[in-house]
Structure 1
């Protein structure tokens, strides 16, 4: 079985954020990190080379594949922020309708800049994701 590339590392979250070249994206990354820390009650850690994660859980699929991943996380990419906060719940569909300008993937929320979204709704999405994680992967 292949080794999992995305795992917690000892790298500095602060150094990673400071290296973000775009000043708006860097400021947004600091704000998202602070919000996720507040919502989760967890200290941020680097997961792989580009994901800032909060907390962790152990998963195991029916196939036997298993590993550890962060409960909540994000990555300040070159063109947008990628937030790992989606779980496909109907509640989140309603929240996304109120969020503001964004795109979605299967479990990812893509935001160009925080000024485009309602931060209270973003916090709701984060809290909903943690509630979902707690139900599926109790601590």
Structure 2
């Protein structure tokens, strides 16, 4: 199939497909006599794997190391290890995001629940002091 058809099928720009080819992520294809690239049907599946892996947080170098050179070349242990490490990385990010969210919600509550008669600047200082105390307690 030509690159335009592969682009439409994969949802990727032809330039992105050529980039993946130049980067060694998909097999280089020979050009026909008319100069057109002719991609095998499995190129669409490989592009789907690549974009899915990128969406999951894998770098192009990580993807390159994990992709097989042929359909029978999957390195199961390396792939399984990389997938488990990525899940662990995602869990760390999720924990950090949950902590950030909780802190933001406390700030929102502090702003919305500003005591009557307390100036905004004074309330902001109280909130900053409270956040600093929480950070110091978390460290110790």
- Identify, as 1 or 2, the structure richer in strand: 1
Work out which of the two has the higher radius of gyration on C-alpha atoms and give 1 or 2: 2
- Identify, as 1 or 2, the structure richer in helix: 2
